[in-house]
Amino acid sequence: QAEFKLDTAGTIWSELLALARQPGVCNLGQGYPDYDGSKVAREAASQAMLEPTMSAMNQYSMPPGLKSLQESVCTYYNKRYQLEEGAAKRAIGSENVLITIGATEGLYASIKALVGPGDEVLIFNPGFPWYLSTTRLAGATPVLVELSGPDFAPDMEKVEKAITPKTRALLLNTPHNPCGHCYTKKELEGFARLALKYNLFVISDEVYENVTFGGVGHLRIADEEGMFERTVTLCSASKLFSLTGWRVGWALSTPSLLKGLAVYHVATSYCAPSPLQHGLAVALDAEDGSFEDIPKLVEGNALVLGDVLREKGFIVSQPQGGHFLVADTTPLGLKGLECAKLLLTQAKVSVVPGIIFYFADPKAAEGGSDDPGMDSDRPLLRFAICKQRATIEEAVRRIRATE
Ligand code: GLN
C-alpha cells in the first residue's frame, strides 16, 4: 500500500517514542505533560461515567458535540479573545464548533474536506509531521516553504512565490511546533492578504494557544478582516487542560465549512467520548485555572534547559510559545538523529531529532524514493519542555554530566 510507504516519519516517531518510555529514561520526546491535568475536568468526567448507562453521558453525543461543550467553548473563546457579534473578530456560536477526536482528527477532516487531488497545500518546513502525511492521504500535493533559524519566522515573499494557480490552502501553525515562533499581527495580516488575493482556505493549528511567553499574546488568523469565512481553526482540549490522552479537540469555522469536515468526522469516529466532553465543558465553565501557571513554568524550563545546551555548544532558539525548545547541533559536528541517539545512550535523555520535522522536497519524492516523506537528517533536536521543573533539572544534570 502506497500510503504506508509515505509515513516513514510516523514509523521513526513510534520507534523513538517506544525507546523513550523505557525505565530510567528522562523523556523530553513526545510533547505531553508530566504535571497534573485539570482536576475539575477529571472529576466531572468520572462522575459522568458513573451515571446510569442509559444516561446521555454514557451514550453517543450528536456528531458535532455535546451541546454543553459546544456552548462552553463559545463562551470561553468569545470572552478570551473578545469576539463580538458583527465585528471582524466574530463571536462564535455552537454552529461554529465541531468537537473532534483531538486536533489530529480535526486536521484530517479539514484537509479531506477542503483539498483533493490536483490541489496544492502550502506547508512550512520544518513542521508537525502529520501535515505532510495528511495532505498526501487526501491526494493533494504539499508545497514546502522553508523556515530558517534562529527565529523561524515565515518569509512572506517566499510564501507568495510558492503560490500557484493550484494552491488551495495554507496550513498555519502558531505557536509553532517544533520551533516556538508565534505569528505577529503583521505576519497574520500578510497571510490574510495572500489568502484573499489568491482565494485560499486557511487551516490554522493553534493547539498551543494557551502557552505563550514574555508578553507575546496568541493572535488568531480567523480574527483578521475577511478571514473567518475561509479559516478552520484547530484547537485541543487535551493541550489546554494537560490531558493529551483524552483525545478531544475542536475545529472552529463557519457552518458551511464545518459541514464538510463533519462528513469525515461522522465516517471515522461519529462523535467524541461523551463523558470526556462533559468533563471539559465543566472545566471550561469553571474557568479552571489549572492552565494559567503553565506558560511561566514552560518559559522557565526553556531558560534552564537552554543554558546547559548552550554550555554544551548547541545553538539554542528562544521559543515565544508552545511546548518545545529546539537546538541546532551544527557546532557539535553532529546531525540530529546521531545526536539524539548519543543523548539517549549517554545521558538517558530522549529527544526528537529534526528528521521527524523536516519534510523532503515532494518533487524529489515523486522520483520514486523509498523514503518520500523524509528529508536528510538535519542538525536539529526538539526537547519537550511541557514538564515539571524537576524533570527538566534531572535532564540538565544528565546532559551536563556527558562528555
Ligand atoms: N503534538 C505532540 C508532539 O508534537 C504529540 C503528537 C502525537 O504524537 N500524535 O509531540
CB-ligand 1 contact for 321 (6 Å cutoff): no
What range defines the domain where residue 185 resides?
A: 40-285
* Residue 48 sits in the same domain as residue 186: yes
* pLDDT (tens digit per residue) in 1-14: 444 444 566 777 78
Report the CATH number at residue 308. Answer: 3.90.1150.10
CB-ligand 1 contact for 10 (6 Å cutoff): no
Average pLDDT over residues 101-117: 98
Report the CATH number at residue 205. Answer: 3.40.640.10
Which of 262, 285, 308 is the endpoint of a domain? 285
* Residue 16 sits in the same domain as residue 76: no
Mean pLDDT, all residues of the chain: 91
For 163-177, 289-303, 308-322, which range has the lowest pLDDT when averaged over its residues?
Answer: 289-303
* Residue 259 sits in the same domain as residue 384: no
pLDDT of residue 289: 66
* pLDDT (tens digit per residue) in 316-346: 999 999 999 999 999 999 999 889 989 999 9
> DSSP per residue over 118-186, as a string?
T-EEEEEES--THHHHHHHHTT-EEEEEE--TTT----HHHHHHH--TTEEEEEEESS-TTT-----HH
CB-ligand 1 contact for 249 (6 Å cutoff): no
For 89-98, 150-159, 368-377, 385-394, which range has the lowest pLDDT when averaged over its residues?
Answer: 368-377
Strand partners, 201: 169
Query: How far, in Å, from the CA of 53 to the mean position of ligand 1?
Result: 33
* Residue 177 sits in the same domain as residue 240: yes
Is residue 153 included in any domain, yes or no? yes
CB-ligand 1 contact for 94 (6 Å cutoff): no
Distance CA 202, CA 204 (A): 6
Distance CA 25, CA 154 (A): 35
Model confidence at 370, pLDDT cuts 50, 70, 90, reads very low
Residue 253 dihedral angles phi and psi, to the nearest 5°: -170, -165
pTM of the model: 0.94
Is residue 338 included in any domain, yes or no? yes
Using the structure block, give the residue that is written with the C-alpha cell 536528510.
376
Distance of CA 352 to the CA centre of its chain: 15
Angle (CA) 124 245 286, round 5°:
100
How many domains does the chain fold into? 2
* pLDDT (tens digit per residue) in 7-41: 566 777 787 777 778 889 999 998 999 999 999 99
Predicted-assembly ipTM surpassing the 0.90 threshold:
yes
Closest CA to 349 of 65, 8, 29, 134: 29
* pLDDT (tens digit per residue) in 179-222: 999 999 999 999 999 999 999 999 999 999 999 998 889 999 99
- The answer to whether residue 57 scores a pLDDT higher than 50 is yes
Contact 277, 69 (CB under 8 A): yes
Is residue 35 included in any domain, yes or no? no
* Residue 203 sits in the same domain as residue 267: yes
